[in-house]
Amino acid sequence: MHEERQIKPADFENILNNLDAVVYVADTDTHELLFMNTYALRHIAHADNFSDIAHLPCYAVLQKNQTRPCDFCTNAKLPANGDVLVWEFKNTRSQCWYQCRDRLIEWHDGRLVRLEVATDISERKKAEEALQRAQKELTTLAETDSLTGLYNRRAFFRYVDELIKLRVQTAYFAIILLDIDHFKLINDRFGHEAGDKLLSAIGKALRSLNNKNSVVARTGGEEFTIAVTGASQDALVAVAHQVQALISDITLNYFDATLSCTASVGIATTNTQSPDINQIMRHADHALYRAKAAGRARTEIAT
């Protein structure tokens, strides 16, 4: 028969000290550290021996510049039946992400203490963050007109719905349509590169109108649409005049030429709670047609 082998406490401690994971035990009432393995000592506590930090509170050793129990401390959340609580956080000392597995266990003197085993998941987090950035970039590409940096037509209607839902109940809503006057002549005279540079400058000017109360988009070749909410009809009409002035103020040097343009603007407003976007856009379009018919470089208000 094989001689029975007993595993001694020193063997358990040796196993814990050779794990590539943070392992520590702390008192749930006083937060006093009762045990910390070698991995945690080296990677977080930066101590050579547990005796160097013994009896210190866990938050002072595990976190940077922490002088009181952490806001995210799990002591109050630990299941009384000994089940494991799994959570993730970024350590302020090591700057590494950890997946933590916490549970209540009984210490040798009978008190309940917190046992935490935390594994480094920093590489996984980096991959997740890279994926999120890529997804955000794809969303931006799908929603943004690359030339002007404004929303495209599809994104415009999506965000207009959100704008209407989130507006103050008493707020007015308006659609402002603008068309760059005689833009074809600029392309014909200076070339499409000049036209593109001018459209880019227009996009930059109109982006200054972007805020929580507006949605600005390029909805056609030289056509732009703005949805905006405001306290009154007069305030929204003032925005339309501001838009016309912004376009008129644009000047752009292109080789030996100076490019500039004007815009015809049409605006339609409403204070109904559930406006019909297509109907308001039709009214704004009729107003834009009147602005063009009246000589361009002007703003017309839908009746």
Which residues are catalytically annotated? 222
Q: How many CA atoms lie within 13 A of 241 on its CB side?
A: 7
In whole angstroms, what is the distance from residue 145 CA to residue 222 CA?
12
Cα–Cα distances (Å) from 185 to 37, 159, 193, in that order, read 76, 33, 13
Both tokens of 204, joined, read 């930059």
Calpha distance 286→149 (Å, rounded): 27
Contact 228, 265 (CB under 8 A): no
The CA distances from residue 9 to 14, 45, 140, in Å, are 9, 23, 58
Taking each helix axis as running N to C, give the angle between helix 153-166 and helix 277-293, from 0 to 180 degrees, rounded to the nearest 10.
120
Distances in whole angstroms, Cα of residue 223 to Cα of each of 61, 150, 182, 207, 277:
61, 12, 12, 15, 17
